Structure formats: structure tokens, C-alpha cells
Amino acid sequence: MTDSLSLRLDRAVAALPDAFPGPGGAVAVLRAGEVLVRHTWGYANAERRIPFTPASLFRFCSITKQFTCALLLDRFPDPSVLDADVAAALPGLAEPAPHALHLCHNQSGLRDYWAVAMLHGSPVEAPFGEAEAARVIGGMRSLHFAPGTRYSYVNQNFRLLANILQARAGRPFAELLRRHVFEPAGMAGAMLTANTAALPDGGEGYEGTVESGFRAAVNRILWTGDAGLGASLDDMIAWEKFIDATREDPQGLYRRLSAPTTFADGTPAHYGFGLGRTVEFGRPATGHGGALRGWRSHRLNLTAERISVVVMFNHLSDAHAAAVRLLAAVLDEAPAPAPEPLPAPAWLGAYREPESGLAVRIDAAEPGVVQLRFGHRAERLFLRPDGSASQGDVALHPTPAGLRMERSGENLASLLVPCRGEVPRAGLAGRYRCAELEAELTVADAGGALYGAFSGFLGQGRMERLEPIGPDLWALPCPRALDHTPPGDWTLAFERAADGSVESVLLGCWLARRLRYERLGGRS
């Protein structure tokens, strides 16, 4: 390592605790199999004063997905032999089931089970284990898009794969991971830590901020192949070394995991086998983030440059942003320039995306930037001189026919439908029932303000204030959920009969779309 690279990395690492404050963290940087950075700070458990070390266990959450797919490819090089197993695991589905590869690539069309759990009235910190997961998954009767045509993030895709691998082998999933993935990769301390309530070495995740203070996060989900990985910084260093050592082997696990993937129409996909395909500083990269209440992590691998970066926070700071900072130091890249301060465009406002039925809200942020709310988190897009706005795989283009939204990572492009005009409030209050879920939505007028909440076999959800978007289009906020972040605001599209009375509502979010709720007790 040159003196200049060492200095850049030292400065970047030294800045992380202040830039991303919280109880503790750990980072690693490797190049060509050599460890350039192996650093930890703070506390794995602040109450018990347990320091964060390279051997401290950490919840890697969704980074687990690539390990589940690695096990799948190790045991079944042709995943299509498991297609019948996938169909058998979805007995209530009234249409052709997705295939195993659709699950691996998040192209299944299934609605995410943690999002659907909120529709069943689950309190945000309720237990969610095998029985609850089985009932939610087993009750799925429809898909929100045809398998292979679109991308949406679905945690139970990987839970289903783990269950199938376990059943096929007749051995626990944890044992299979250890024997066929962790041990060959030299990940001596890695394990499946399905119970999120505690880590064996006392490690804790924290919510909060420096201003409000930090508190131990509450988690009661039982995870398997979707997010159950427990590992240390040293375990992840071993994984990155294993990737580099096997990079030339055509049958190497990571080489197969990171191979190009496509949608059914042949369009290149940006996700496959539990890995995102991204571009960082103009260079192709693969990686994934992990997140749960109190935990954030990210790993990036640039195969051509033979560079790996791993970031672990036991608090809610942006691990991806930290990973990009470290990557910039390795590559000697300057930070992205500030956006050009272009004026706010005339096409700001509220829309509806016609295929998904979801609301699209576009607002001005700082000069040169707009905020797009469509997925499960707000996205920042940079205005361009041609009147468009884009960032990554998302773009908004004004056309003579209207505003066009392109989301290449989802294989989705459509003209947005404007939602303008008066927002009527009368006649919306009442109870609505979804036959598919056997669950209910209650909309209440409480002194002139509208509120909504879900209820089902998991309980009775909290009443939340509805936010008007456009004529008969409302958002029901979901500020917390079973997973690390909410699934995004729920779009409520109220539907009226010819006489103007409300008869149903089409409900959805990015993770779970197009669920119809019929009004109970007649129209109003």
C-alpha cells in the first residue's frame, strides 16, 4: 500500500465516528485479497460496556440473502429443479407460481410478508415467527405482477428457498450454511442467528440519535434465509478473501452469484441471487445492504479492481454512504459535485402510476434536486438541463403525452396519471374488507380529521392520520413496521359507484400492491 493510499484511508476511517455517530462500528477494506483496513470503534453493548472488536457478532440482516443463494447454487446448480417445491409451498395461489430463479432475483411477484403483516394488524414490535410466517405466506392467493416481468423486494422469497433447501436435505438450514458455505469460505464464527432478540456474545443494536439519545432496539422476528446471518468483521473479511481467491474459477460461488441476470423479456436486471448490481464511480459493483432496527451494514465488491468494502453499524446511520466514502478513498475519487441549482420544474405534484396503482409524489428539495415518493423510501433525483430528473436507475422525463417515470431496475416505465383537483372527504369513513387477506381496513372521521388502521389475525393496528394526495387518493402513513423501515406509505385509492357513493378501495405500497377492499355495511 502506497503512502498516499494509506493516508487517504486513515483520514477516511478517522472521520467515520463523527460523520456516522452511534454506539459503535466496524469497517474493512481489501484489495487483491490484502486487508488494507480492519478497524472497529465504540461498543457492541454500551450498557454492559462490551467493546466492539473484529470478533464481535453482528446482525447482517439482508446480506444473508446472497449466502442463501450461495447454498442453493452449491447444492442445486440448476435451481429450476426446485420449481415444483416453490409451487407446493404456495398452496393458496390461484395463478401459476413463480420459479426458484424468480425468488432468487426478487422477480417473484409475491407481496412481501412483513409488509402484509401490517395489513393483518400486527403491532410494530409483535413476535413474528414460524407460525405467523407460515400463515401469511400460505394465505397468498394472487401476485402483484407476473413472475419475471418486474422487480420488487420480497423477503420471504429467501425464506421459502431456505425452507426448501432444509426439507430437501433433511438437515437444519443453519447446519447446511455452516457446512457448505461458511466453512469453505473460512468464516469460522458465522452462524444463523434466527432469533433477533439477542446475540450470543451480548451485542446490541440501537435506535435514536445523538440529540435524542440511543436506546436498545426491540426486535422479535424469527429470521432464516432472508435475514438471519450473524457474523463478525473477521468473518466478512474471510468472505471477501474467498471471493478474490476464487474469482477466476468459472464454478466459483461468487462468480455464479454475480453473473448477469435478466427479466423475462431479456432486459438486464439490476438484482440477482441476493446481490444488487450497481455502479460506483463509474465502475460495476456488486453488493447488498443489511438493516434491522438498530443495525445497518453494507458490503461492496468491485471485481475488476479486486476491491471490497464492508461497513457495520450497530445504530441507524447510513452504512452505504460510509462504504462509498471508503471506496472513494481507495480509488482516489472526489466526492460527487453539488447539483446544478436549476429552477424547480413545472411538473412537480401528485400522480398515480397506472400499473401498480400507487401514488407518486414529487416535491422540490434543495435547488437542483427533487424528492420522489413512490417506493418504500423517498428518492433524491437531480434535475438536468433538458428538464428531466434522474439518479441511478430512476428517471423522470416530461413528454408531450405527460410525465414519464422510468425505473430500469424494476423493468418499469410508464406515463404517470396526474392527480389534481379537490379532495372530497365525505363518504370515506367506514369499514372495508379484503377477501384475499381476510383482513379489514377501518377509516374513521375523528372530529373532521380522517384516520385509518388495519386489523386481522395478528391484531389491531394503530390509527394513523390520512394524508390527502388527490381526488379520492390518500396516503396512510406507516411510520414503523416489523422490518427495519416501514414498507412505505400505503396508497388508498377509493372507488365510487355511478351514484358517487364509495364502494371499495384499492390499497397498496411498493412491497405489496393492488389489494382490493370492499366496503362493509353498504355504501355511503
Q: Report the catalytic residues.
A: 62, 65
Amino acid at 170: G
CA distance 402 to 413: 13
Cα→Cα distances 223→70, 297, 336, Å: 17, 17, 37
Contact between 510 and 494 under an 8 Å Cβ cutoff? The reply is no
The string over 6-26, giving b where at least 16 C-beta atoms fall within 10 Å of a residue's C-beta and e elsewhere, is eebbeebbeebeeebebbbbb
Closest by alpha carbon to 509, among 489, 524, 493? Answer: 489
Please give the DSSP secondary-structure letter assigned to residue 269. P
* Sheet strands (E) in 52-199: 58-61, 191-192
CA atoms within 13 A on the CB side of 482: 27
The x, y and z cell numbers of residue 59, run together, are 446482525
Closest by alpha carbon to 504, among 520, 489, 488, 491? Answer: 520
Residues 6+ away with beta carbon under 8 Å from 426: none
Q: Do strands 229-231 and 58-61 pair parallel, antiparallel, or not at all (unpaired)?
A: antiparallel
Mind giving me the DSSP string for 423-463? ---TT--EEEEETTTTEEEEEEEETTEEEEEEEETTEEPPP
CA distance 516 to 524: 18
CA atoms within 13 A on the CB side of 224: 22
- 353 by DSSP, 3-state: which? coil
The x, y and z cell numbers of residue 450, run together, are 380522517
CA distance 504 to 494: 6
